[in-house]
């Protein structure tokens, strides 16, 4: 009478990776009649859209991670010899003579593109990668590679989002700088590296599903 319980307990101790592998295999072997004919094509198209979004994110990285909506007093006006000029500029309706545009680094826009704080092609990527219609396109001998690339993609996206969130602690996110000046952005640099890793994993996934389609 204890044998069924022991078997259930043993099954519960299976690793997460093994469970995912079994799920991939089971879904990939489902009869095509159980799947919506147009579904896989739409899901592959979303993967392509996600790939394009990552490429765009990387190409526009500087614009997306530098926020230049700040202004500060021109430092030369603060010296004693420029006191009269400062008073004159202060009485003017235009502030262009007394202020200069400065910037701060930010990971806010990166997180939006990654689908964390806004909807994007990269949102809920884990659920997409496990849809039976998509798994049906994975050749039997490529299941292991598909699973590995899927896990790599999700881990890289999570790491990129985490680093982009922590980018608020970077020195350049706390201290203003002028556009073009060198900045210290270790967390944003880590986010960019993770985005590049996600791009590589997604390229491998697309290679697999397109070969099987």
Tokens (6 digits) for 123: 């949102």
Asked if residues 65 and 141 have their Cβ atoms less than 8 Å apart, the reply is no
What gap in Å lies between CA 150 and CA 142, rounded to an integer? 12
Asked if residues 134 and 46 have their Cβ atoms less than 8 Å apart, the reply is no
**Listed residue (135, 161, 211) closest to 54, CA to CA:** 161
Task: Convert the pLDDT of each residue in 49-65 to its tens digit.
Answer: 999 999 999 999 999 99
Task: Convert the pLDDT of each residue in 144-155 to its tens digit.
Answer: 999 999 999 999
Tokens (6 digits) for 90: 């202060």
Instruction: Give the pLDDT score at 34.
Output: 42
Instruction: Give the pLDDT score at 78.
Output: 52
E strands of 18-137, at which residues? 66-73, 99-105
185: which residues sit within 8 A by CB, 6+ positions away?
Answer: 65, 105, 167, 170, 172, 173
Instruction: Give the pLDDT score at 45.
Output: 93
Q: What is the bridge-based pairing of β-strands 66-73 and 99-105?
A: antiparallel
DSSP at 177: B
To the nearest whole number, what is the mean pLDDT of the chain? 80
Asked if residues 150 and 27 have their Cβ atoms less than 8 Å apart, the reply is no
0.85 exceeded by pTM: no
Q: Does the structure show a pLDDT above 90 at 82?
A: no
Q: What does the pLDDT average to over 79-87?
A: 54
The more confidently predicted of residues 197 and 9 is 197
What gap in Å lies between CA 202 and CA 148, rounded to an integer? 11
CA distances from 168 to 54, 57, 115, 162, 177 (A): 21, 19, 18, 11, 15
Q: Transcribe 142-161 into DSSP letters.
A: GHHHHHHHHHHHHHHHHHHH
Task: Convert the pLDDT of each residue in 122-168 to its tens digit.
Answer: 999 999 999 998 998 999 999 999 999 999 999 999 999 999 999 99
Instruction: Give the pLDDT score at 13.
Output: 43
């Amino acid at each position: 009478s204890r044998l069924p319980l022991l078997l259930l307990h043993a099954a519960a101790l299976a690793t997460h990776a093994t469970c995912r592998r079994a799920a991939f295999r089971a879904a990939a072997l489902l009869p095509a009649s159980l799947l919506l004919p147009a579904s896989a094509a739409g899901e592959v198209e979303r993967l392509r859209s996600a790939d394009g979004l990552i490429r765009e994110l990387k190409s526009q990285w500087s614009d997306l991670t530098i926020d230049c909506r700040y202004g500060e007093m021109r430092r030369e006006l603060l010296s004693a010899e420029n006191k009269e000029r400062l008073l004159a500029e202060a009485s003017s309706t235009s502030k262009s003579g007394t202020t200069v545009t400065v910037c701060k680094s930010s990971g806010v826009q990166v997180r939006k593109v990654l689908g964390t704080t806004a909807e994007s092609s990269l949102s809920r990527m884990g659920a997409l990668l496990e849809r039976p219609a998509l798994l049906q396109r994975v050749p039997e001998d490529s299941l292991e590679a598909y699973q590995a690339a899927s896990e790599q993609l999700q881990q890289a996206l999570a790491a990129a989002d985490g680093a982009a969130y922590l980018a608020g602690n970077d020195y350049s996110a706390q201290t203003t700088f002028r556009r073009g000046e060198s900045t210290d952005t270790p967390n944003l640099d880590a986010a960019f590296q993770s985005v590049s890793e996600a791009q590589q994993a997604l390229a491998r996934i697309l290679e697999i599903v397109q070969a099987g389609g």
